Homo-oligomer: A and B are copies of this chain.
Amino acid sequence: MQEFLLNIPSIKNFFQDDKLIIKEIGDGNLNYVFLATSSKDSSKSLIIKQAVPYLRCAGEEFALSRKRMTYEIRALKSYKSHVPKIYYSDEEMSIVIMQYLKDHIILRQGLIQRVYYPKFSEHISTFLANTLFYSSSLYLDSTNKRKLMDRFNSNTQLCKLTEDFVFTFAFMPHKTNHVEDNLKDEANKLFNDIEFKTNVLKLKYIFMTQADALLHGDLHTGSIMINEKETYIIDPEFAFIGPFGFDIGALVANLLSSYISHIFVTQDKKYQEWILQTIKEIYQRFEEKFLTLWNNTDESALINPNFSYNQKFKQEFMKQIFQQSIGFAGCKMTRRVFGIAGVEEIRGIKDPTIRKSASVLVLKIGTSLVNNYHNLHDIDDLISFIKANS
């Protein structure tokens, strides 16, 4: 591999004439991940990520096209900030070589360890506002919007994974689910909750057909690398053109899971309060930044500079993004209780009784959000709703 790497000019330029120490460091779920480090200067490292044509953790018989890396590369290159620096990528070879984030940890772990991240809401709100606005018909012209859709439309397999695992299987009896004995009653209740499932279908339909903007597609707290100063978004292999609220919803869902976990595990009220405050700040700043970008745009696929309209249009538009985000958040929270790939801060709770209590509260809040998002009008409403129900 050393020869391959040093034949790439940008990589050669990075390492100069140093020999490389290469080791595999992937968690082994989906891809191969290697760390290449200079043998002379251990602070000089790059990450090499390569997709193989199957779900690595499940074996070669579980086919998953390595084409997914194509969409990851395209998304990484679309982002304007808060993304690892890309040194090299090759869609044909399903390979990307990028900055090594050695001083950062996965946000999910940081939240479990009760680390405060004072800049996180500022960073992630910038990422969300930029990514969603600049890839939408509010900014792009008609031609460039369709070109962008073309570049992501065929990420079919990963879109289908979301359709199946986020919107379907986790809410019905299915072999991929994980239902603990002491939660069987709750699972039965959920699987027979027709009102909830009907509301899920509405959100699933929006997910499948609403082509607002470029999504990360899997923006949970495991897709964010962080420290007190910096925030990086990683792993956008689920990227596609979908509804504005889906990434925001994923993020809110995972922050709420962490909040609920701390109610039962650490009982740290200050940290719980910080998480809620962070959700509020993320949303407020996202909305503010998104609107600023929009107000500075005179012409786009949607807007013509000589076509006057009522500014209330933008308020209603933003309210719809908010409500949709909360609906998706509820869906994402609920699906993690019985569905494949539960979140560590809940499913990893050692004590079964505490684990059950936390799961029950996730279910209660998640299903309430799916059933009531149309009744929440702004982020303050959401925070009050969470406090009143937890």
- Report which A residues bind B (CB closer than 8 A): 137, 142-143, 145-147, 149-150, 153-154, 156, 159-160, 163, 168-169, 171-174, 192, 194-195, 197-198, 201-202, 204-205, 208-212, 301-304, 306-310, 312-313, 317
Which residues on B sit within 8 Å (CB–CB) of A149? 149, 153
CB A194 to nearest CB in B, in angstroms, measures 5
In the bound complex, do residue B210 and residue A210 qualify as a contact, i.e. CB atoms below 8 Å apart? yes
- A47 to B209: give the CA distance in the assembly, Å: 36
Question: DSSP class of A's interface residues: helix, strand, loop or mixed?
Answer: helix
In the bound complex, do residue B172 and residue A307 qualify as a contact, i.e. CB atoms below 8 Å apart? yes
Which residues on B sit within 8 Å (CB–CB) of A304? 168-169, 172
Which residues on B sit within 8 Å (CB–CB) of A303? 201
- A253 to B302: give the CA distance in the assembly, Å: 23
In the bound complex, do residue B146 and residue A197 qualify as a contact, i.e. CB atoms below 8 Å apart? no
Which residues on B sit within 8 Å (CB–CB) of A194? 308-310
Closest to A204 in B: B302
In the bound complex, do residue B202 and residue A313 qualify as a contact, i.e. CB atoms below 8 Å apart? yes
Which residues on B sit within 8 Å (CB–CB) of A154? 146, 150
Closest to A309 in B: B198
- A195 to B142: give the CA distance in the assembly, Å: 24
In the bound complex, do residue B210 and residue A172 qualify as a contact, i.e. CB atoms below 8 Å apart? no
Which residues on B sit within 8 Å (CB–CB) of A302? 201, 204-205, 208
CB A119 to nearest CB in B, in angstroms, measures 33
Which residues on B sit within 8 Å (CB–CB) of A208? 137, 142, 145, 301-302
Closest to A137 in B: B208
Which residues on B sit within 8 Å (CB–CB) of A210? 209-211
In the bound complex, do residue A313 and residue B201 qualify as a contact, i.e. CB atoms below 8 Å apart? yes
CB A190 to nearest CB in B, in angstroms, measures 12
- A177 to B380: give the CA distance in the assembly, Å: 47
5 A-B residue pairs with CB within 8 Å: A142-B160, A153-B153, A168-B307, A192-B308, A194-B308
- A160 to B309: give the CA distance in the assembly, Å: 20
Closest to A141 in B: B160
Selected from B195, B202, B309, the residue in CB contact (under 8 A) with A197 is B309
In the bound complex, do residue A153 and residue B146 qualify as a contact, i.e. CB atoms below 8 Å apart? yes
Which residues on B sit within 8 Å (CB–CB) of A173? 306
In the bound complex, do residue A313 and residue B211 qualify as a contact, i.e. CB atoms below 8 Å apart? no
Which residues on B sit within 8 Å (CB–CB) of A204? 302
Which residues on B sit within 8 Å (CB–CB) of A145? 208
Q: Which 7 A-B pairs have the closest CB atoms?
A: A198-B310, A142-B160, A198-B309, A146-B156, A209-B211, A198-B313, A172-B307
Selected from B195, B309, B317, the residue in CB contact (under 8 A) with A310 is B195
CB A19 to nearest CB in B, in angstroms, measures 45
Known: A208-B302, A210-B211. A143 touches B172 (CB 8 A): no
In the bound complex, do residue B168 and residue A198 qualify as a contact, i.e. CB atoms below 8 Å apart? no
- A201 to B308: give the CA distance in the assembly, Å: 10
Which residues on B sit within 8 Å (CB–CB) of A301? 163, 208
New contact pairs (12) apart from A142-B208, A172-B307, CB-CB < 8 Å: A143-B160, A145-B208, A146-B159, A147-B156, A149-B149, A168-B304, A168-B307, A197-B308, A198-B312, A202-B313, A208-B301, A210-B211
- A147 to B160: give the CA distance in the assembly, Å: 13
- A312 to B197: give the CA distance in the assembly, Å: 12
Which residues on B sit within 8 Å (CB–CB) of A306? 172-174
Closest to A317 in B: B205
- A13 to B273: give the CA distance in the assembly, Å: 79
- A312 to B159: give the CA distance in the assembly, Å: 27
Closest to A240 in B: B146
